[in-house]
Amino acid sequence: MSRTGRNDLCPCGSGKKYKKCHEAQERHGVAQGRLLMLLVGAAVAAALVAGVMSFTGKGSAGGVRVWDPVHGHYHDENGVEVP
């Protein structure tokens, strides 16, 4: 099946040229698909960064947590119990 050119008659049978009939609708769908792909890619990248930061400890705002086996819970760097 050959591709419809911009100056060919529209295959819908309207008698108009393709560029004046359905081309804009098809381009709009392609643009939406690209935008959606960009948004999903950005969300995946943000999730990866958040995951890496949670494992390295550079993203935690609570500071250092130390497990105390005697008490069975975490303490911060000042010795205060942390949930």
Look at residue 44 in the predicted model and tell me its pLDDT: 96
pTM across the whole model: 0.41
Mean pLDDT by 10 residues, the chain (83 residues): 78 87 76 88 94 69 76 82 77
Look at residue 59 in the predicted model and tell me its pLDDT: 47
Instruction: Determine contact, residues 5/11, Cβ cutoff 8 Å.
Output: no
Pairwise CA distance, residues 25 & 6, whole Å:
13
